[in-house]
Amino acid sequence: MQRDIQRCPRVAVYGTLKQGCHNHYWLDGATLLGRDRLTALTLYDLGPYPGAKAEVSAGAVVEVYAINAKQLALLDQLEGYFAHAPGQGLYNRAIFPTQHGEAWCYLYNAETKNEARIEDGEW
């Protein structure tokens, strides 16, 4: 994981980790680099939080943060990401290009056929 974070020391968040949302404190000490709209992502309404899929859309609005390896490990715990079995956790993660450089983004692993798309990309 250390090599990954050195390659990409940023995270793009689209849900409860955004400013003003209840999980934003997980990003304490991170530096907000700015916002972006990622057209390679589609957001789905999962009820208490959104999930993103790597699907083309009008764009998902994200906040991009500079982070460190410890912060990434904490976010992995929050998001239910398993480095040893990425497809088996609640979320997987992948690197996406943003206006602020490449950033990790958490992708929802489960099916979304019964969930509503968030068409405007803003949760």
pLDDT tens track for 12-40: 999 999 999 999 999 999 999 999 999 99
Q: Which of 55, 79, 102, 122 is catalytic?
A: 79
Q: Average model confidence (pLDDT) for the chain?
A: 93
Query: How much is the pLDDT for 1?
Result: 44
Backbone angles phi, psi at 21, to 5 degrees: -100, 160
Contact (CB, 8 A) for 15 and 50: yes
Q: C-alpha 114: how far from its chain's center?
A: 21
Distances (CA, A) of 26 to 13, 14, 55: 11, 14, 26
Nearest-angstrom CA–CA distance, 14 and 29:
18
- Domains by residue range for the chain, with CATH: 2-117 (3.10.490.10)
115 has catalytic annotation: no
pLDDT tens, residue by residue, 63-83:
999 999 999 999 999 999 999
- pTM: predicted TM-score of the whole model, two decimal places: 0.92
pLDDT over 90, % of the chain: 92
